[in-house]
Amino acid sequence: MKRTIVVQRNDPNADTAANERKLAELKELAHAADYVVVGSLVQSRYPDRKYQIGRGKVDELAELVEALEAEKVIFNNQLSTTQIYNISETCKCEVMDRFQLILEIFAARATTRRAKLQVELAKLQYELPKAKAIVSLLKKEERPGFMGLGGYEDSYEQDIKKRIVRIRTELLHSSKGSELLRTFRHERGFSLVALAGYTNAGKSTLFQSLVEEGTIVEDMLFTTLSPTTRSLTINQRKMLLTDTVGFIEDLPHWMVDAFRSTLDEIFLADIILLVVDMSDPVDVIRQKLVVSHDIFWKRTEGAVIVTALNKTDLIPDEDLQKKLEVISYLAPAPVMISARSGEGLGELKQLLYENLPKWEHCMISVPMSEEGMSMVSWLYDEGIVHTIEYGDSILMEIEARDEIIQKVKPFAISY
Amino acid sequence: MFPIIAVDISGRHRINQGYYMVCAAVAVNVSASHIESVSQIAVKPFLVSSAPDIADVVSIIETTVAEINYPGTIILEHGDLYNQPEWLSQRMFSREFKYQESLSERLAIEFAHHVSLSSRNLLMKELGID
């Protein structure tokens, strides 16, 4: 485990609580990437062009690196190529920023080819503006005109661009596959439920409690990078529950785009189960909910949002009520749960059931024959059979999605 | 449900000699993710000769919202107040004010945007200005 120092430059007049939260998040991210945070440094000032933080503060940082024997410095602010170079020259150790750290975590966790491609895409998109800077620096040396060095191809930048296009095409092809799978699942009568929420809110624990199956659960950011899907049946309605990657504050839009297909599981679901960690301070919960709403805005396609207020076992009832009052305008269809103790899960399942796409009720009378019997077994597979009476004909009360009802319409007695 | 007044201003760019702006304020009742009911809409046109600064924008909003006979917090997009921090913007208004946060607040602002934009388009057509 590498020893590291985290650094943050705050804008003057910025919210102190928000700054502290950002720094805490950076530390958690570093922990998730297997670093040991041995020290931190904060400065309040406007950005310095050469070092991001002030020149004097960089010297202080260099001393701290030496004293604490740190091998790496991680900045919360985005650094330019020159800034990384200048700081690492002074501190004599590796320097990276928050985005590189997130990419490092993603790269380490990516297991499927698709996830690996997405990580590479995000890396390349991060590299692209830097490649432009490098090329323009090189071009300064170039002498134009006859016998000059001209014809300098921006090959580095071009290579990156070409690779980006190739990866995008490949991702597009593979996303068509998952699109087909999604339609197929819908046709088979599965409703899609996606677990969404801020990273470390307890989505994987809830997932495990709901489907009673082992997924990796750790107290760490980004445990789930590739979505995991399992089936779940509530009151005979089948649904597919998907655990997805956690949201994170200040994630640049290109990074959200790069991981779009992972998030697509959320955006194309019938129900979004938004998980919130209620043990956080109330302004942190509020901020995280705002980030989640920001991500949902314009992207969800008619999905119902159900908010699971998790980790209620960790706080007294009185505090819980106060918090709920403050955040209620950001929490659609809220339900209090504790994924660990199982409290409130019954209520949550009921709420999910109520918000599933509506199925129609129908009374049908099927002739007592071989075909009739095969129809009965088909209806047991595709829908819910509420009552069945065998007589001269088979009288059934069924509940199913629209396509199924249309198929059995000739046998209908009443709706 | 929460009462809010979502506000949007269209036309903050120069056309001919002036800035033809239309401000729309919609008073709605919202839940966390949906608009539940609409209570009142106010639309007001403004014409100024120089680019509106933040004080002009605040006064335009206050004038329009004064038409609304309904309680509620004024909701705006960050950009409408030139990305001023919330604590600063709050002090400029006589009523309660905040930036958009929830899905329903965003929806309400989108609603106000459609009202102000189409009213402005209609006004420009009537005045024969392009």
pLDDT, tens digit (0-9, with 9 covering 90-100), for A330-357: 999 899 999 888 888 899 999 998 888 8
Bridge partner residues of A8 (DSSP): A42
Top residue of B28, B84, B102, B104 to mutate, by most chain A CBs within 10 Å, is B102
Contact between A394 and A376 under an 8 Å Cβ cutoff? The reply is yes
Q: Tell me which chain A residue has its CA closest to the CA of residue B33.
A: A332
Contact B103 A305 (CB under 8 A): yes
Contact between A30 and A102 under an 8 Å Cβ cutoff? The reply is no
Q: Return the pLDDT at B21.
A: 93
* A174-201 confidence digits (pLDDT tens): 777 666 766 776 767 778 888 888 877 8
Place of tokens 């509506």: A358
Burial class (CB in 10 A: 0-12, 13-18, 19+), A365: middle
Contact B32 A330 (CB under 8 A): yes
pLDDT at residue B22 is higher than 80: yes
Residue B33 contacts A where some CB pair is shorter than 8 Å: yes
Q: How far apart are CA A8 and CA A19, in angstroms?
A: 9
Contact B103 A307 (CB under 8 A): no
Nearest C-alpha of chain A: how many angstroms from B103? 6
3-state SS assignment for residue A393: strand
Mean pLDDT score across all residues of chain B? 92
Cross-chain CB nearest to B103 (options A286, A293, A333) = A293
Region for A257 from its dihedrals, namely left if φ exceeds 0, alpha if ψ lies in -120 to 50, beta otherwise: alpha
- Residue that wins the pLDDT comparison between A385 and A227: A385
Q: Return the pLDDT at A146.
A: 53
Bridge partner residues of B37 (DSSP): B29
- Six token digits for residue A107: 């790269």
For A181, phi and psi rounded to 5 degrees? -60, -40
Contact B33 A305 (CB under 8 A): yes
Residue B121 contacts A where some CB pair is shorter than 8 Å: no
The full DSSP string for A26-53 is HHHHHHHTTEEEEEEEEEESPPBTTTBS
CA end-to-end span of chain A: 65
* B76-130 confidence digits (pLDDT tens): 999 899 988 888 888 899 999 999 999 999 999 999 999 999 999 999 999 888 6
Residue A10 contacts B where some CB pair is shorter than 8 Å: no
3-state SS assignment for residue A110: coil
Place of tokens 């090329």: A135
With b meaning 16 or more CB within 10 Å and e meaning fewer, what string describes A78-105? Answer: ebbeebbebbeebbebebbbbbbbbbbb
pLDDT bin (cut points 50, 70, 90) of residue B59 is: very high
Q: Which residues contact A360 (CB under 8 A, 6 or more apart)?
A: A399, A400, A401, A402, A405, A415
Q: Which residues contact A115 (CB under 8 A, 6 or more apart)?
A: A106, A109, A225, A226, A262
Helical ranges in chain B per DSSP H: 54-65, 86-92, 103-127
Contact residues on chain B for A328, CB-CB shorter than 8 A:
32
Contact B32 A331 (CB under 8 A): yes
